[in-house]
Amino acid sequence: MAPNHGLVHPKQYDIKDSNVELIGSDLDHSLKYKSALEEPAWNNGAIGTSSGLFIWRIESFEVVEWPSEKHGQFHTGDSYIVLHSFKVGDSEDNEKLVHDIFFWLGSETTQDEAGTAAYKTVELDEFLKGVATQHRELEQEPSEEFLALFPRLTILSGGVRSGFRHVEEEEAKDILTLLRIFKLASGERKSTTVVHEVEPSYKSLDSDDVFVLDTGSKIWVWQGKNCSPMEKAKAAQVFHDMTLAKHIDVEVLSESEPRSRRIVELLGCEDPDHAEFKAKRPVATYGAEKTGDESKKLFRLSDASGELAFEKVRDGKSVSTSDLDGSDVFLLDTGRAIWVWEGLQASKAEKAMWLKVAQAYVRNLGGDDAYLEPIAKVVQGNEPKSFMREVTA
């Protein structure tokens, strides 16, 4: 029996811990690249050569391709790697292929899955010659860049081969499932519909959103009295897809209709006439909007003195590209996200420490939700537009 078999309850990963310790470790780059050349997932002929969206799930320490029909669907008990490759340039003769790598960690992913996703993210970056932008994505607080990739983001309970509850197609008919559907349209990201599985209880309902209840034999849709027409339309798409797959009846009810009490009863309420449905946020806050007036802080990570030092170099409304030095690594806190800029001439030690330093910085921010701050690393000369919007020329 393989050593990883027979484990019923793998250790759940604590997202507040350093969940990407393997990134920037002392493992030699040449060994990582050799390993990357032997990874089947990266060697399908398209990775590094073609534009597109590629997604893999970590399964038993392996990188397994996630079916295209499930793109945008993630499980809370899993870890995923998402590669977005696209061309930039003003003409065919002046364009190049650039890459964003997102490693997505579910709130209930295991330590082994998170560690494998972290290592394989580094490996994929090595395969792409080390110029990709790397993003740490947490289920509870995805970045605007990640949300822009998915017109519909679906978060389901369970995970692959773990002690968590699975939500696989063959089992779904026996499970009471409640989905919350709401619309995102803030910031500069594309509008995204979020479908988030929540506890199948009447206490999960609120008047601002639409909910879909799958009882196995019938699908019920509960429209909160304050939900928007757009949310109703998106919910219709969701339950349309569900009925096509499961061939069962669906009934749509507004909160204001007396018959909607039936849904509340199915969700365990003994007195539906007196139940209150106050506005609430889901487990994930999905990028609560900032004011845009946050001060930007720039820090330098350098070993020029013979020892690694981390010091603030700017604190104000703006940061300029002239503040960056290609011989060092810099951390930029925009108030909305943490960016790490890696100079091409930065030392091996500086490059190795970037993520540990970023995570230590986030932990020192204070507050219960500080650990959710998005973190991304960019390489000098390959900065994405989202980073360049944060600095002035």
- Delimit the domains of the chain by residue range: 1-146, 169-274, 291-393
pLDDT digits (tens, 9 = 90+) for 172-194: 445 689 999 987 755 444 567 88
What's the rounded Cα separation, in Å, for the pair 121 and 83? 9
What's the CATH superfamily of 169-274?
Answer: Severin (3.40.20.10)
- Say what the pTM is: 0.80
Query: How many other CB atoms sit within 10 Å of the CB of residue 208?
Result: 15
The Cα 170–Cα 163 span in angstroms is 18
- DSSP H helices, the chain, are 29-37, 111-127, 144-147, 229-246, 261-266, 348-363, 385-388
Low-confidence ranges of the chain (pLDDT < 50): 1-9, 13, 15, 18-28, 162-173, 187-189, 282-283, 287-288, 291
Assigned token pair, 163:
């002690």
DSSP strand pairing (152-156 vs 73-75): parallel
Domain covering 291-393: architecture: 3-Layer(aba) Sandwich (3.40)
d(CA 62, CA 100): 21
In the chain, the percentage of residues whose pLDDT exceeds 90 is 43
Same fold, 1-146 and 169-274: yes
- Asked if residues 322 and 359 have their Cβ atoms less than 8 Å apart, the reply is no
**Domain 1-146 classified CATH 3.40.50.620?**
no
Q: Does residue 253 contact residue 223 with C-beta atoms inside 8 Å?
A: yes
The interaxial angle of helices 111-127 and 29-37, nearest 10 deg, is 90
- pLDDT at site 7: 38
Contacts for 217 with CB less than 8 Å, ≥ 6 apart: 248
Rounded CA gap, 49 and 46, in Å?
5
CB contact at 8 A, 213 and 219: yes
